[in-house]
Structures are given as structure tokens and as C-alpha cells.
Amino acid sequence: MPARKRSNRVVKKTSQRKYVKYLIYGVLLLFVFILFRKFTVNKYYSGQDKLILSVQGKSGDISVIIFDLDDHEINKIILPGSLEVEAARNLGKFRLKNIWELGSQEGIGGGQLLTQTLTSYLKFPVYIWAGDEGLNFAGTNPLTCFKPVFSPFKTNLSVGDKLDLANFCMKVKNIDRSEIDLSHSTFLKKAKLADGEDGYQLVGLPAPKLYSNFNYHLLSGSEFKISVTDSSNNINSTRKAGEIIEIMGSKVSSVTKSGSVDAFCTIKSINLKAAELFAHTFGCDIKAGEVRNEKSIEIILGTKFPEVF
């Protein structure tokens, strides 16, 4: 047999083996997905609206990834780790990359302090967090998307959340993905920080176009009447809460001052989906059924609210 024909046959067989190999991997992945999905529950992933994830990268940079489950988009905002921020819980000024470690040292939890700081300082309404492995949920390779499902890393995502995020990631086209690096924006400036080293400082709050990524479809598409009862004994509490609520896609329709209440915050609404968005973002309790109107939500801020935000 001529050498050229033998060579072509070898190449053809090799290609066939690779195809079979990938097919087997695909079938195994599908089998594992179905098996896992049958015995797992979701904590945050609902299959609707948006899921917003903050990720502490190994480089120190923080990525805030917005998974738009309705429009089938993945939008990533990158914050430099050397950005100087006011840590939540009145802990002072730190570089953003050090917030996770600070939270661990304070016994709060690194991921929790990170999300609270992003919400309080930058008005990014985010409550889901993950370590570096979480970046793969925004990957462009199907195998990369599923890697976090089988890798151990710190996160408050459930196994069910991971499976559904990986599945969603795999289906999103490259044209429906975007990435914004805020170190190249006009919102940040290079400066000498309090520790004497170079870094970034916030010049002003980002433009409405950037914040529109955080508008929940449920809130921006409906005319909710949100009333805030301020029992925090702090003049800034209502202002901060109102700014974050607006970025989430809604507005505060009324504010009532009340006597001090020794509590954090409470959400009253019969619309549980909307109530959960605010409860997760601020860390509030939910009292269902105490407000009769489907479009009415009452948020009660207690004296412990300004201790965090």
C-alpha cells in the first residue's frame, strides 16, 4: 500500500477516535448533569431574571458577573484589586483585594464582607460570591463552564446553582457576552493610597448605563410601590437603601420616620420573588402576608442596618 494512502488512513482513524472520545465525554457530562440535578436543590438560581455573582480572582481583581437568564447574556465587570474602598461594617479604608481576607479575620466571612462592601460602597446589589474558580462560569468553553461543578472552592452557591449556571454558560453565544474593565474607565483614577502605594480611587459613581446591568427585570418591568420605614436612627440609612433599590430597577415611593427598632431590616410583601431580591441584597428577614397589595413592598430599617451599610 502506498505510504500516502496509509498516512491518510491513519489521519482519518485518529480523527474518528477524537470524535468518539468527545462524544463519550459529552454523553458522560449529560449523564452526570441529569443524575446530579435529580438530587440537588437550588439556592439562588431560578432560571429567570438575573443572577449576579462576585468573584475574588487570584490576581486580586474582583469580577462582578451578571447572568441575564431572560436575555441569555453574560456581562462581566472587572474591578482592580488595588481600588481603595470603604469596607462595609464601618471597618475603614482598604484595597478591594484585601476585603476577603479582612472578612475572614473579623469572623464575618470573606465572601460576605466582599458583597456587602460592593453593595455599600459601589451600590452594586450583589449577594452571591465565589473564589477564583467561579470565573469559569463565564468561560467560553463548555468543559470550562462545568469545571466549577466538580472543583472545591469557597462560595455560597449550592450544587444545584452550580449545575444550572454551568449549563447556562455553555449555551450563551460569544456575541452575547461582554466585559468591562473599570481600570480603563473615567470612574477611577490612579492615585497614591493611604498605605503609600499606587492604586485606584473612585472619582464618582459609574454612569447609569453601567448600572443598568443590575436592573432586575421583575422590578423594572412592574410598578412596585416601595415604602421605607426608617427606624434606624441614622439619617443616611434611607438614602443608601433608596440608591441601591433604584439601581435594582425600582424606586422608593414613600419614607416614614419611626422610633428606633433594635433589629436589622424586615421586608413585608406577598410578592415573594420581589421580597427575596431585597432580602438577599440587604440581608433582611421576610414577613409574608402582612401587605395585601401584590405591588406593595414595605422595607423596615432597624438600628443595626447602618452598622453594615
What are the pLDDT digits (tens) for 148-204? 998 999 999 999 999 999 999 999 999 999 999 999 999 999 999 988 899 999 998
pTM of the model: 0.87
Closest by alpha carbon to 264, among 99, 89, 127, 130?
A: 89
- Bridge partners, 87 (sequence order): 92
Q: How many CA atoms lie within 13 A of 223 on its CB side?
A: 0
Helix axes 3-38, 159-171, angle to 10 degrees: 140
pLDDT per residue as tens digits for the range 259-298: 999 999 999 998 889 999 999 999 999 987 666 677 899 9
Please name the residue ranges forming H helices in 129-264. 142-150, 159-171, 208-211, 217-220, 235-247
CATH number for 215-307: choose from 3.30.70.2390, 3.40.50.2000, 3.90.226.10, 1.10.10.10: 3.30.70.2390
Q: For all residues of the chain together, what is the average pLDDT?
A: 90
- Distance CA(194)–CA(169), nearest Å, equals 39
Task: List the Cα angle 82/84/89 in 5-degree steps.
Answer: 125
pLDDT of residue 11: 46
**Backbone φ, ψ for residue 15 (5° rounding):** -65, -40
Q: Name every residue whose Cβ is closer than 8 Å to that of residue 10 and which is 6 or more positions away in sequence.
A: none
pLDDT above 60 (res 2): no
3-class SS of residue 73: strand
CATH number for 50-202: choose from 1.10.357.10, 3.30.470.20, 3.40.50.2300, 3.30.420.590: 3.30.420.590
Residue with cell 470603604: 86
